[in-house]
Amino acid sequence: MRISATCHLSSNETRCSCGRLHTMALDSKNQIWTFVTWGRPFRLDSPMLDCTSPETTPMQAECGWSFSSILTQSGDVLVFWSSSGEIGRIYDEENAAMDDRGDCNAYGTEDHRIPCVTWSLQADPLRIPPIPQLPDLESTGAHEERSTATTLIKIAAFDNHLIGLTNKGHVLKFGDLSNEYSFDRTTCWQYVSHLASALCSS
């Protein structure tokens, strides 16, 4: 099936990730779309994602079991929950309103498309604390590369936790991300030294 929508979801430019009950997509304009209900993806509309600077421009969208995470070009990580918390509340209200209107259902067509009903959800995700000071990894890169700032370049998500990879080969873990209400802003990234050592020696 191909999704037809006002979002820029061309197959060669869109990057998707799937969780237990939701899917995220990063479109060709670096906008974040979330699919929870069939044919009704929403775009997360926030000044934190307005693409006016590296800090607000997404470059990766990654689904955990029940949460969504976004890595920006600056190496910042944002998270939200589409089925709970404030964003979950806004989503449930709009989804119920669409049901009441009766003209917001999506059906597959004979040419294998799904004309979606898209909408914008205005809310701010939560920002995860920055990564801590990390040790030098002597076996990675030239001296000039080691002297540059250390930043996250990739993330991976699973059940209530994130894994991050830096531009210098460090591997870090962050959690608990079970829901918005238990999110602790004082939680720090944990450096997983044995994984970093294994990557550097391979």
Q: What is the mean pLDDT of the chain?
A: 87
Strands 119-122 and 42-45: parallel
Specify the number of domains making up the chain: 1
Mean pLDDT across 107-136: 90
Give the rounded percent of residues in the chain with a pLDDT score beyond 70.
Answer: 85
Task: Report d(CA 164, CA 154) in Å as an integer.
Answer: 6
Total-model pTM: 0.86
DSSP of 108-157: --TTSEEE---EEEE-PPEEPPPP------TTSS-HHHHTSPP-EEEEEE
pLDDT at 129 over 80: yes
pLDDT digits (tens, 9 = 90+) for 9-41: 544 457 899 999 999 999 989 999 999 988 899
What gap in Å lies between CA 145 and CA 52, rounded to an integer? 27
pLDDT band at 96 (very low <50, low <70, confident <90, very high): very high
CA–CA distance from 101 to each of 43, 97, 154 (Å)? 20, 6, 41
Q: Which structural domain, as residue segments, surrounds residue 159?
A: 2-201
pLDDT, one tens digit per residue, over 147-168 is 789 999 999 999 999 999 999 9
**Model confidence band, residue 201 (pLDDT cutoffs 50, 70, 90):** very low
Whether residue 29 contacts residue 74, with contact meaning beta carbons closer than 8 Å, is answered with no
CA-to-CA distance for 176 and 180, rounded, in angstroms?
10
Q: Which pLDDT value is given to residue 102? A: 84
